[in-house]
Each structure stands twice: as structure tokens, then as C-alpha cells.
Amino acid sequence: MDVIVIGGGIAGIATAYQLRAAGHRVCVIERHATAAQGATYGHSGVVLPSPLDVWFGPTFMRHRLGAKNGVLRKTGFNRAASSFVRRLNVLHAPTEFSQQYDRLRPLIETAREAMTDIESRFSLEFEQASDLLYLVRGAQEWKLTEPALDLLRQYEIPHQVLSAAQCVELEHAVPAEPDFAGGVRLATERTANCPLFTKLLKLVLDAQGGVQFHFGREVTGLRLESSHAAVELAPRPDEAQRSREVEVIRADAIVIAAGTGSLPLLERHGVRLPLHPLRLHTLVAPIAHEECAPHRTVIDAIKRIAITRMNHRLRIAGAAVLQSAIQTSKPLDPALFEEALALLGQATHDWVPGAAKISAALPWQGVKLLSPDGLPAVGKILHPRLFMNAGHGPAGWGLACGTAKVIAALVSGTTPEVPADTLAALQPERFLPA
Ligand SMILES: Cc1cc2nc3c(=O)[nH]c(=O)nc-3n(C[C@H](O)[C@H](O)[C@H](O)COP(=O)(O)OP(=O)(O)OC[C@H]3O[C@@H](n4cnc5c(N)ncnc54)[C@H](O)[C@@H]3O)c2cc1C
């Protein structure tokens, strides 16, 4: 079959790879000049979503104060944003949290296997490292991590639960004062460079053939018919004056893997999914004092701020700003931007003081799509020839190689590797009225 993939982030490129591996001819359309320029660019490197860092559950957005939970919530009275938060809050309950993680887990395993397969098949090097240390400040928050610790045990994910003193002994960068509740080490879990992997995989596809890339082209509309599907393209900047004819590319199927750009494409067909855009920030700071730099990735498990060493720099990522979708599509208020960066700076100061030169850090912000039940939207939507692979929230790096495999199976008409209840929980149409 001929398949169009809209989006050249990790989800789009991984989907193109799996579709090609399944024998299809693929055409990737990306509005930027190259791959990995959207949310994929801003990764914090953590390959998992472990039970400790999924963006739902007992510890996620528990407090109203951004300084306490790492999410600056500025939704005002926007109904869609408030309803999004209310739906996520349902997953604060330990039972709901565990059930939702149970549904996600097979996808995590598929994703991990698919990434390892690509990595070894093409001998890719993308700054892989292992060893994560999750830290928790307060005793009450530590108690709230219990359901996540239960899941680590249940899934036999190798981990060590550590007292504060043991954390300090293990990771010399973490200060003993002020006291904190404890930490969890996942020594075998990994960090790696997501945009680098995406670009290397694109090069693999270039070398293999069978995948065409159209960079610098924006999809403005979808045409869905019984015999074929097609996308409409915006004119190239130099064409705008010359031609009024809409350029169209036809195929047998279309996969929307366009990150936050997925929603407007569907809305033009009357489909409104309750996925919500969330702005995130990174600081990339030079190492200030080598003797203070962490030897492993340190993660504030409550604020979900990850501090990862990459070469001579620290990459500090998190500080979400939750606003209405309209506000998120506009430039961020400078005061709020400063507040977000201050959260990242503070987390660095708290957990690895002296390690990074924050005053010389390069800031970045990007928007990712989060679903109100924490799981991505992966599967058929609206029409038999239309598929979606988006809404991975904070875990697109960890999940995309797996969701791509699911999509390739669905497009090919074969049975995806994940169990039926996981597949049902991923269906984008789960959000539509029955
Ligand atoms: C700061 C930050 C830290 C993160 N840390 C982690 C982490 O540690 N671990 C993890 O697993 N995940 C992490 N994530 C999440 C992960 O990066 C995202 O889930 C993932 O990159 C999403 O990939 P994507 O391909 O769906 O979206 P994107 O990378 O946004 O790609 C979508 C692409 O579609 C293109 N596009 C959109 N509309 C159109 C259109 N109409 N026509 C043509 N092209 C279009 C866009 O230009 C874009 O390039 C993080 C995200 C951020 C922002």
C-alpha cells in the first residue's frame, strides 16, 4: 500500500520505519525543513515511562501550587482545560492508576523491544546511558508513591528503594541537607538522545529506499474517500502568488503523527478530541563544577523534572505550563516563562547544587499533547483509511517505537502485538460519543 505519514517527529519517523518494514511505500510530510523539530527536539532523554514518571496517578498535579508539583496551572475559567484536569484527577486514586498503568505496560514492552531491535540492527549510537535516580522530598509525597512502588514490584522492574542517606551515598551530587524522604534507583533503565535517534532513523530510511520525504510542506486538509485517501498541501512560499490550484498527494491510507498539529487536521472533519497541549521547558546548562555533576540521571519524582548529563552539559527538563489550548498556541507571557525556568533552576539547585551554570543555560520551550487518561491516541479514527499516532504526552520518546508498530499492524490489517484491552485503551475513538 501507499501510506502518507503526516509529521517528522519521533512518532512520524518511527511509523514510517515500521510501515516500510511491513512492506508499504511511505511518504512523510513535515512542515519544518528537517526531522525532529517539534516536541521531539526538547526531550529530557528518559526512555521509560516507569510507574514513577507517567503523567497521571497519585503524585501527578496533586497540589495546586506549581512550585510544589512542577506544573504551572494557569487555566483560568477555560472549560476544556478545567475538564481536562478533572479527568486526570480521577487517576489520583491508586486503583484507577494501577489499572491504567496495567493497560499501558504491554505497549512499553513492545516499544522497548522495537527500539532495541532498531538499535542493534543498524548499530545506532544516540548517547545511550543507564541509571536513573528518582528523588522525593516530603514524607507525605513519599507515601503517595506507594502504588508506583507496588507496580515496580508487580512488573519485576529491577529497582532499589533507598533512604535519603543511601541516595546521598550513591549519588555524590545529591546533598544530605535539607533532609528528604528517599529515592528509587532504576539502575538498568536508560536515557538517550531522542532527536538524534530520530535523525539517524531517517538516514536509515534514506539508505533503504521506499520512503519519500517532503520537508517544508504543510498539510492543510485531508480527503477521505472509499477508494483512496489524499492530503492537501499548502502552497510553497514562492508558489502562493502563482497558482490557485491545491496540490494533492494520494495514497491508500494516511497516518496523522503530527503532535499538536494533529488536532486541527481532525477538527476540520468535525472530530474534537479532548487531548490537551502542554508547554514544557528545558535548560541546557554547561557543567559548572565537574566534582558536583551527577553520575546518573536525577529526577524529581513529584515535579517530574529530569536532570540528565549529556557530554559536558546538563539537560534539565520539565516545568510544564498548563493553559487553555488557545493561550498555549500563543507566545508565553515572559513572566510565566521566567517562572517556568526558575522551577528548573531551583530543582537543579535543590538536587545537584553547583553542578550546572544556570546563568549560562540555553532555554527552550515546546508543546506536547497529553490525553486526559494519560495514554496516547493510537489507532483508526473517523474513516477506514485514516489512522492516528499522537498524544504520547511526556513519554513519546519511550513509547513511539511501540505505537509505530501498532499502527503498522493496523494499516496492514494484521493483529498488533499488544493485548486487546491495551489496544482498546489506545483507540482514539475512545474519546468520542458511542
Ligand atoms: C521538554 C520535553 C521533555 C520531554 N521528555 C521526555 C522524556 O524524557 N521521555 C519521553 O519519553 N518523552 C519525553 N517528552 C515527550 C516527547 O518528546 C514527545 O512525546 C514526542 O517527541 C512527541 O513526538 P511526536 O512525533 O508525536 O511530536 P512532534 O515531535 O511534535 O512531531 C510532530 C511533527 O509534526 C509536524 N506537523 C504538525 N502539523 C503538521 C502539518 N499540518 N503538516 C506537516 N507537518 C506537521 C510538526 O512540525 C512536528 O515536526 C518530552 C517532551 C518535551 C517537550
Region of poorest pLDDT, from 41-55, 185-199, 231-245: 231-245
Closest-lying ligand 1 atom to the alpha carbon of residue 282: 1
pLDDT of residue 240: 62
Work out the pLDDT band at 243, boundaries 50, 70, 90. low
Q: What distance in Å separates the CA atoms of residue 385 and residue 47, rounded to the nearest whole number?
A: 31
Instruction: Please tell me whether residue 52 adopts helix, strand or coil conformation.
Output: coil
Sign of the Cα pseudo-torsion (60, 45, 370, 401, in order): negative
Length of the chain: 434
507515601: which residue's cell?
A: 143
Can you list the positions of beta strands (E) in 293-381? 297-300, 305-310, 313-322, 362-370, 377-381
pLDDT per residue as tens digits for the range 108-135: 999 999 999 999 999 999 999 999 999 9
**Residue 67 corresponds to which cell in the numbers above?**
512550585
Verify whether ligand 1 is closer than 6 Å to residue 219 (CB atom): yes
CB atoms within 10 A of CB 158: 10
Verify whether ligand 1 is closer than 6 Å to residue 377 (CB atom): no
Question: Residue-wise over 37-73: b if at least 16 C-beta within 10 A, else e?
Answer: bbbbbbbbbbbbbbbbbbbbbbbbbbeeebeebbbbb
pLDDT of residue 78: 85
Verify whether ligand 1 is closer than 6 Å to residue 157 (CB atom): no
Q: CB of 191 within 8 A of CB of 296?
A: no
Q: Is pLDDT at 181 greater than 90 in this prediction?
A: yes
Question: Residue-wise over 184-213: b if at least 16 C-beta within 10 A, else e?
Answer: bbbeebbbbbbbbbbbbbbebbeeeeebeb
Mean pLDDT of 281-300: 97
Alpha helices in 28-145 (DSSP H): 66-69, 79-89, 94-121, 139-144
Pocket probe for ligand 1: among 40, 126, 199, 314, the residue whose CB has the most ligand atoms within 8 Å is 40
Give CA separation, 128 vs 311, 314, 360, 393, in Å: 11, 15, 25, 22
Gap from CA of 175 to ligand 1 centroid (Å): 34
Closest-lying ligand 1 atom to the alpha carbon of residue 32: 47
CATH topology of domain 59-92+129-191+276-370: D-Amino Acid Oxidase; Chain A, domain 2 (3.30.9)
Verify whether ligand 1 is closer than 6 Å to residue 277 (CB atom): no
Closest-lying ligand 1 atom to the alpha carbon of residue 258: 34
Gap from CA of 167 to ligand 1 centroid (Å): 33
Verify whether ligand 1 is closer than 6 Å to residue 39 (CB atom): yes
Q: What distance in Å separates the CA atoms of residue 189 and residue 160, rounded to the nearest whole number?
A: 12
pLDDT of residue 377: 98
Work out the pLDDT band at 62, boundaries 50, 70, 90. confident
Gap from CA of 395 to ligand 1 centroid (Å): 10
Q: CB of 352 within 8 A of CB of 315?
A: no
Q: Is 379 left (phi over 0), alpha (psi -120 to 50) or beta?
A: left
Domain range list for the chain: 2-40+196-274+374-431, 59-92+129-191+276-370
Work out the pLDDT band at 76, boundaries 50, 70, 90. confident
Mean pLDDT of 167-173: 98
Q: CB of 387 within 8 A of CB of 407?
A: yes
Mean pLDDT of 314-330: 94
CATH topology of domain 2-40+196-274+374-431: FAD/NAD(P)-binding domain (3.50.50)
Work out the pLDDT band at 241, boundaries 50, 70, 90. low
Sign of the Cα pseudo-torsion (320, 15, 96, 307, in order): negative
Q: What distance in Å separates the CA atoms of residue 390 and residue 124, rounded to the nearest whole number?
A: 25
Which residue owns the Cα nearest ligand 1 atom 3? 43
Gap from CA of 364 to ligand 1 centroid (Å): 14
Q: What distance in Å separates the CA atoms of residue 130 and residue 174, rounded to the nearest whole number?
A: 18
Closest-lying ligand 1 atom to the alpha carbon of residue 317: 1
Average pLDDT across the chain, whole number: 95
Q: Is pLDDT at 160 greater than 90 in this prediction?
A: yes
Gap from CA of 345 to ligand 1 centroid (Å): 24
DSSP state of 240: T
* Amino acid letter, 219: V
Q: What distance in Å separates the CA atoms of residue 360 and residue 379, rounded to the nearest whole number?
A: 43
pLDDT per residue as tens digits for the range 327-379: 999 999 999 999 999 999 999 999 999 999 999 999 999 999 999 999 999 99
Pocket probe for ligand 1: among 34, 37, 43, the residue whose CB has the most ligand atoms within 8 Å is 43
Q: What is the largest CA-CA distance in the chain?
A: 69
Q: Is pLDDT at 253 greater than 80 in this prediction?
A: yes
Q: Is pLDDT at 242 greater than 70 in this prediction?
A: no
Mean pLDDT of 29-35: 97
Verify whether ligand 1 is closer than 6 Å to residue 366 (CB atom): yes
Verify whether ligand 1 is closer than 6 Å to residue 8 (CB atom): yes
Can you list the positions of beta strands (E) in 241-396? 247-251, 253-256, 276-286, 297-300, 305-310, 313-322, 362-370, 377-381, 383-390
Verify whether ligand 1 is closer than 6 Å to residue 11 (CB atom): yes
524522604: which residue's cell?
A: 181
pLDDT of residue 93: 96
Mean pLDDT of 312-335: 94
pLDDT of residue 170: 98
Verify whether ligand 1 is closer than 6 Å to residue 398 (CB atom): yes
Verify whether ligand 1 is closer than 6 Å to residue 45 (CB atom): yes
Closest-lying ligand 1 atom to the alpha carbon of residue 198: 25
490537551: which residue's cell?
A: 276
pTM above 0.85, yes or no: yes
Q: Is pLDDT at 42 greater than 90 in this prediction?
A: no
Work out the pLDDT band at 167, boundaries 50, 70, 90. very high
Q: What distance in Å separates the CA atoms of residue 272 and residue 264, rounded to the nearest whole number?
A: 9
First to last CA, the chain: 30
pLDDT of residue 238: 75
Closest-lying ligand 1 atom to the alpha carbon of residue 389: 26
pLDDT of residue 389: 98
Gap from CA of 130 to ligand 1 centroid (Å): 23
Work out the pLDDT band at 94, boundaries 50, 70, 90. very high
